Amino acid sequence: AQKVTQAQTEISVVEKEDVTLDCVYETRDTTYYLFWYKQPPSGELVFLIRRNSFDEQNEISGRYSWNFQKSTSSFNFTITASQVVDSAVYFCALSEARTGNQFYFGTGTSLTVIP
Amino acid sequence: DVKVTQSSRYLVKRTGEKVFLECVQDMDHENMFWYRQDPGLGLRLIYFSYDVKMKEKGDIPEGYSVSREKKERFSLILESASTNQTSMYLCASSLWAAPGGYTIYFGEGSWLTVV
């Protein structure tokens, strides 16, 4: 079973629109960690954020915000006022305290921001 | 900043050739990984290493081997390259971060084409 599901394969938005990327995870651990990574066309996966399961506080960083909801096992990522430079593939990932160094990645959401 | 460097960004090799993909990290991380990324399949773990000379198979180790002689360097070896190994290869290393759990950081990726 897929531990991390990113149901949106591709999304296109017009510049300055807001866009939300969905991530649903599955785990039986009470302690776990959630991540988002950005992969621009150059290929490198860039770390964006890490969230611990015991910290449900939402986070905002500039135009980026993350909504962590344990009740729905979701960790969604919103880009406000999107820009062309936001065009990339975004990956959500999970690791569990029990397995430590094992990471489960979603299949990614390809975001295209149209100028 | 964490730096994971992959020696080759683009390679073209012939079927049957032995291929070495090199990866170096400069943050004294104990854990290093090799992933393969293919369209529609996301990231798949080939091998990881939790210490010098230690290695563990990931999800798709067949056709690959690894070497970790020094802490900072983790090499992926294709003993006899085949066309179905044409892919993007990502090296990563992970760091334990307070208050708990690991965070994984990636290199720029190596695009391998086997002809």
> CB distance A50–B103 less than 8 Å?
yes
Question: What is residue A60's predicted lDDT score, i.e. its pLDDT?
Answer: 86
Question: A33 touching B, CB under 8 A?
Answer: yes
> CB distance B103–A93 less than 8 Å?
no
> CB distance B50–A108 less than 8 Å?
no
Q: Which residues of A touch B99 (CB under 8 A)?
A: 52
Question: What is residue B70's predicted lDDT score, i.e. its pLDDT?
Answer: 94
Q: Which residues of B touch A52 (CB under 8 A)?
A: 99-101
For residue A49, the chain B residue with the least C-alpha distance is B103
> CB distance B101–A97 less than 8 Å?
yes
C-beta separation of B56 from B47 below 8 A: yes
Pick among B36, B89, B102 to test the A interface (most A CBs inside 10 A):
B102
> CB distance A35–B105 less than 8 Å?
no
pLDDT in tens, A37-94: 999 998 899 999 999 998 888 888 899 999 999 999 999 999 999 999 999 999 999 9
For residue B106, the chain A residue with the least C-alpha distance is A45
Question: B50 touching A, CB under 8 A?
Answer: yes
Question: A103 touching B, CB under 8 A?
Answer: yes
pLDDT in tens, B45-58: 999 999 998 999 99
* Interface size between A and B, measured as CB pairs under 8 A: 62
C-beta separation of B18 from B78 below 8 A: yes
| A104-113 mean pLDDT | 95
Tell me, letter by letter, the H, E, C secondary structure of chain B.
CCCEEECCCEEEECCCCCEEECEEECCCCCEEEEEEEECCCEEEEEEEEEECCEEEECCCCCCEEEEEEECCEEEEEECCCCHHHCEEEEEEEEEECCCCCEEEEECCCEEEEEC
Question: What is residue A102's predicted lDDT score, i.e. its pLDDT?
Answer: 87
C-beta separation of A53 from A70 below 8 A: yes
Q: DSSP class of residue B93?
A: E
